[in-house]
Each structure stands twice: as structure tokens, then as C-alpha cells.
Amino acid sequence: MVKAVAAFLTAIERELGADAIEPSVEAVERYGDTTMPSGGRRVDAVLLPRSVTDVVTTVRLANEYQVGLYPVSAGHNLGLGTRSPVRDGQIVIDLGRRMNRILELNEELGYAVVEPGVTFQALHDELVRRGDKFMISATSGPPLGSVLGNALDKGAGYSPYFDHFGTLCGFEAVLGNGSTIRTGDGSLDNDTLPNWPVSKYTIGPILDGLFAQSNCGIIVRAAIWLMPRPPVIRTFHATFERDTDISAIIDAIRPLKLTNFVPTLFRVANDLYAIGPEERAENLGRRPGAREITAEERRLLREKHGLGAWQASAAFYAGSEGDIAPMLARVSSHFLNKGAVRIIDHAQAQLIPSLLIASDAFSGRPSTAELRLLSWRPGGGAIWFLPGTPMSGRTAAELDVLARGLFAQHGFDYIIMHVAGGRFARSLYLILFDRRSAEECRRADACYRALTSAYATRGIGVGRAAIDYHGLHMDLQMPAFQQAVLAVKRALDPNGVIAPGKYGIG
Ligand SMILES: Cc1cc2nc3c(=O)[nH]c(=O)nc-3n(C[C@H](O)[C@H](O)[C@H](O)COP(=O)(O)OP(=O)(O)OC[C@H]3O[C@@H](n4cnc5c(N)ncnc54)[C@H](O)[C@@H]3O)c2cc1C
């Protein structure tokens, strides 16, 4: 351990107490574990603050001793870096372990004020305990992920409150320079702030965005808006037979979302994304040395699960079954006219595990089921590639051919889900590989870089990136943007103590 780190930890122990430092060497090492092709990172220590005051002290000491702090709220950023810093030799500040209280739950105005360690599961459980009147916007990722951490990384769900950063309102942030600010209507110099959790726009610039995917400060609390739970939620699922149907699916969804006739986003999952959690590639009885799945193996899996090359899923919310019935009839005939081969209703979907995942997501119920997708291939390697497409069937189809070709060229199974709105769909590609094989790691890395370059050539970047590729993506941004981001970083964190290198900044 370098001298500065040792001296810093001695100062932390003196000011915060020995229990503010994770004692287990093995536990500290695990914070550096990732699912990335490059392997793990060296983490020098893990800190466990108990309060905002502890965080302020930690940042002050980090400036004094010039050490890098990497904040995590729950550290379940699976396929994007888990809880590991971008670079070796940083100190993880695990906010979630001891700062995990729901500070306020306001059922009149529909918001919760949370500390970083409040998980999706914990907030859901508390809402259920209080009578299930409000629902969280669930992800289909880890229920033990942090509501705040996910939102700060621009995570998303599937309900009308899908934009998690957008549903945060009013932060308290400890800046890299050691000062503490409140944003939104919390920035008034007063101790009583009734509008802080309900109004984002106060006088002056909106500073909240400085904390999305950034390294300017550490967020210690925020409000998140909650949607009243509708009395009845009914999902519907349209399956399509051919890979090329993606064009028709995107064009079919667009008018349903532009008018908000359908209130949720659409999950448009290909066969392997939908079926992957229920199957293992190694159980397909494949020839030795086989790489990606064959067309015939995919066909057999689809047949076994009663699913298609694509499945488009969404949900209606209403007061009663009767209110929903005509809407379901209308979308069913809409999709059948656009080439769907099967409409699966809510009741049938409850019996199909892959569609149950969608149903839980639209209903704000956390679930671990989709995490089984990570075991489709052995060896634990996973990278999300997260570009997107305008909601134009022709463009989506062109990008599908492009990405499908690059996955095949690099020998990986094509696993993709589009999360579609009216104008834009985020495309979630998952590269699964065997981390125990150096050759597969090289191929996975090459595949990611080839996808990045092919999309960037077409003017398409990503919405979120795995830690191996933060620098790669920032380097693709226009120089003036990079300079502006760096100038902000230097102004708010002059010694560069917060997560150096995160998102290619500092
Ligand atoms: C199968 C599968 C499905 C998934 N589905 C989804 C999905 O539907 N939607 C989705 O969004 N994600 C999904 N994920 C990705 C990911 O697992 C989740 O987004 C997860 O919630 C992120 O981890 P976390 O919430 O614990 O955040 P953390 O790991 O705690 O933090 C995430 C990032 O934010 C920064 N950060 C965290 N807290 C702070 C803070 N207090 N101050 C400053 N910076 C901070 C961290 O440095 C880190 O970069 C999925 C993953 C898998 C494997």
C-alpha cells in the first residue's frame, strides 16, 4: 500500500473510528472483482461511512492525503463494473452499508427521500408494508441494487417512471472540493424546505445533471418520485417469427407510444434474451468447440418455450379488468396486423418464466429471475453494450443486421433487448463470455470495440458503459464537450479525488 493511503487510513481511523474501515482483506479484494475481459482492479481499502458528516470528513482527508475515492451505493452494477473503480489503487467508499435509511416516505405527494443504501427491494417492501399504495419503478436487474446508485448511473425501468435520474428530485451532494450543496429548491438558504422533494427548478442553473455518470461529488441523499399503484395491471406480449420482423415491430410500437396509448415502455426481447434465463448453452448437446448457437438450436429453443425470434411486451394500467379489455383487444389486432404470430395474455404469461420477468418489471416488483441470464454461458464474463436506435423500423433493422454480423464474426451469441418508447429505443446488448479463457476475453473485448466503432461511425453513442470502456467512449465525444466536462470536474474537484478516470474524466 502506498504511503499516502496508509497515512489516510490512519487519519480515517482517528476521526471516524476503526469500524469505518472494512477489516477483511478478502472482502476488500472482492470489491475489485468485475465481469470484464480485463479482469479485476486493485482496491486499496473500503470505507463504510455512517453519516453525511463522515462523508464530508472522508472527502476532506482524501484532499489532504491525495487519494482517490470511488463511491458506490450498493455496488450491484453487474456487467458494467459491479463495484470496482475504473482504475487500480482507489479506495471504495461504500455508502450503502451503513447509510441505508428511508428518511421520509410521503404518501400524500408520492415521494421517498432515501440514503444511498436503500435498495429497490427495501423500498418495495416498505411500500408493501404500508399498504401497497405506491410502486417503485423496478429494473429487471438486481433487487439489491441501490435506488440512488442506479439513478445516478442513468439506469432505467419500464413503467411511466422509467427515467430514474429524471424521477430524482433534489440532491444533497458532497463535492470533491469538500463543500456540501443542496440542489433544486433545497438550495434556498433555509432549514425548512417544503419544495425540495417536489420541485426541481429553482432560480439559477440546474446543477443536478452534474452528478449523473460523473465524478464531481458524492450524493448522500435525494428524493425519488413514486407512482401510485394502479388497481389493475395487465401485460400483453406479441411474438414474431423472423429476425427481420424487428422493422415491423418498431414501426408498430411507435404510434402506441407517441400517443401514450400504452403507458409503459415496450420490452422487445430477442429469443436468447427471453429464453436465456431458463436455459444453459452447455446443455444444448452441442458439438465440441462450438461457439455461438446455430439457427437450428435457436429454432428448437423457441419451439420448446413457445416464443418467437422477438417478443414485444408492455402493460396497461387501469381501474378494472373491464377498462383494460378494449385496449387489449385493440393492441392485439394492431400487432396481428403487423405480422405477430401469437398474442400471449397476462394470465398465460404468468406461466412462462421469461414473460413473468416482464410482468414483474411492469408491476414494480423486484425479481432476481433475469440475473440467471448471466449463466447462459459458463465462466462469468459479461459486458453490456448500450447504444440505441430512433424508433424507425428501417434504422433499427439496419443496426440489427450490423450488430448481428459483428456478434457472429466474433463468435458470440446474439442477445439483445430494445426498451422502446415513442421516439427512441435503448438497445441492451449482452456479450457473455468465459472469463477463464484468455482467448475468449480477447474476443469479447474485440467484439465490444468493433460494435462501438461501427455504431460511432453511424453517429450513435452509448447511454451507459462498462468500466473497461469509459475512456474509449469519452474519447469519441467532440473535443469541446470533453474540455467542458473536464473544466467542470476541475472546478468542483480540483485535486481529482472523486473516482479519477470514471467516464473518462480526470
Ligand atoms: C440481467 C441484468 C439485468 C439488468 N437490468 C437492468 C435494468 O432493467 N435497468 C437498469 O438500470 N440496470 C439494469 N442492470 C444493470 C445494473 O445491475 C443495475 O443498474 C444496478 O441497479 C446498478 O447497481 P447499483 O444500483 O447497486 O448502483 P451502484 O453500483 O452503487 O452505482 C452505480 C454507479 O453510480 C455511481 N454512484 C453510486 N452511488 C453514488 C453516489 N452516492 N454518489 C456518486 N456516485 C455514485 C457509482 O460510482 C457507479 O458508477 C441489469 C443487470 C443485469 C445483469
**CA-proximal residue: ligand 1, atom 16 (nearest):** 77
* Torsion-angle region of 310 (φ positive above 0: left; ψ -120 to 50: alpha; else: beta): beta
Say how many Å lie between the CA of residue 348 and the centre of ligand 1: 31
What backbone torsions phi and psi does residue 344 show, to the nearest 5 degrees?
-105, 125
Of 73, 140, 354, the residue with max ligand 1 atoms within 8 A of its CB, to mutate for a pocket test, comes to: 73
Say how many Å lie between the CA of residue 11 and the centre of ligand 1: 30
360-394 pLDDT tens trace: 999 999 999 999 999 999 999 999 999 999 999 99
**CA-proximal residue: ligand 1, atom 2 (nearest):** 141
Q: Percent of the chain, pLDDT > 70?
A: 100
Cα 120 from Cα 2, distance rounded (Å): 37
Nearest-atom index, ligand 1, CA of 502: 49
**CA-proximal residue: ligand 1, atom 31 (nearest):** 149
Residues 99, 106, 365: CA angle, nearest 5 degrees:
75
272-331 pLDDT tens trace: 999 999 999 988 877 777 888 999 999 999 999 999 999 999 999 999 999 999 999 999
429, 471, 424: which is closest to 448 by C-alpha? 429
Nearest-atom index, ligand 1, CA of 277: 1
157-193 pLDDT tens trace: 999 999 999 999 999 999 999 999 999 999 999 999 9
Residue type, 493: D
Pairing of strands 43-47, 90-94: parallel
Q: What is the DSSP string of 188-256?
A: SSSS--TTTTT----SS---GGGGTT--SEEEEEEEEE-EEPPSEEEEEEEEES-GGGHHHHHHHHHHH
Cα 173 from Cα 349, distance rounded (Å): 43
Residue 79: which residues within 8 A CB-CB, separation 6 or more? 35, 374, 382, 383, 384, 430, 466
User: Residue with C-alpha cell 462523508?
Assistant: 55
Nearest-atom index, ligand 1, CA of 152: 34
Of 34, 78, 433, the residue with max ligand 1 atoms within 8 A of its CB, to mutate for a pocket test, comes to: 78
Q: With 0.85 as the threshold, say if the pTM is over it.
A: yes
pLDDT at 468 over 90: yes
HEC assignment per residue over 105-158: EECCCCEEEECCCCEHHHHHHHHHHCCCCEECCCCCCCCCCEHHHHHHCCCECC
The x, y and z cell numbers of residue 5, run together, are 493511503
Asked if 8 and 2 touch (Cβ cutoff 8 Å), the reply is no
Asked if 81 and 34 touch (Cβ cutoff 8 Å), the reply is yes
Cα 4 from Cα 289, distance rounded (Å): 49
Of 152, 220, 267, the residue with max ligand 1 atoms within 8 A of its CB, to mutate for a pocket test, comes to: 152
The pLDDT of residue 215 is: 98
Residues having CB closer than 6 A to ligand 1 are 71-79, 83, 95, 116, 139-142, 145-146, 148-150, 152-153, 155-156, 218-219, 370-371, 373-374, 499
Give the pLDDT band (50/70/90) at residue 1.
Answer: low
pLDDT at 120 over 70: yes
Give the pLDDT band (50/70/90) at residue 202.
Answer: confident
Tell me how many helices (H) and strands (E) the chain has. 15, 18
Cα 160 from Cα 266, distance rounded (Å): 11
Residue 101: which residues within 8 A CB-CB, separation 6 or more? 114, 115, 117, 118
Residue 59: which residues within 8 A CB-CB, separation 6 or more? 69, 174, 175, 176, 178, 218, 497, 498
pLDDT at 358 over 80: yes
Say how many Å lie between the CA of residue 73 and the centre of ligand 1: 9
Which sign does the torsion angle of CA 136, 139, 140, 142 carry? negative
